[in-house]
Amino acid sequence: MSAKHTIKVSPLKQNELEEAHCIARLAFGTFLTAEAIAQRVGVEVSCLPALREIHFGTWEGLDWQEIEDRFPREADRWLREFPMQSAPGGEAYAEFTARIDGVIAPMIKDAAEMTTAI
């Protein structure tokens, strides 16, 4: 199932364009959305690797049914103990949030000075 969304973006004034940014994580769908917004307002997209999704270790690339089938004990433990429990070989939730916060916090601080879409 897919959804189609119409994004209404107001044109920016020239002085706003000089300070406008469109930030995306390195996921194809997210990049396409950011690119559509950026084209509409006339700015470039910056991809920040630090905004990538949490790494799920040995579960990376599996859907939930595959995880439950192949790693039933680990899946059950993860459900009971998340966010304290990481996926096997995966990124700890505290590390993930610190990584994201390290990128987002400065953007929020500078938000009053520029137009930013994240």
DSSP 3-state of 12 = coil
Q: Model confidence over 46-88: pLDDT tens digits?
A: 777 788 889 999 999 999 999 999 999 999 999 999 999 999 9
What residues does 23 pair with on adjacent strands? Answer: 46
Q: Which two tokens stand for residue 58?
A: 């040995």
Residues of the chain with pLDDT > 90, as a percent, come to 40
Q: From residue 64, give the alpha-carbon distance in Å to each of 1, 56, 59, 90, 98.
A: 17, 12, 9, 15, 25
Q: Which two tokens stand for residue 43?
A: 């700015």
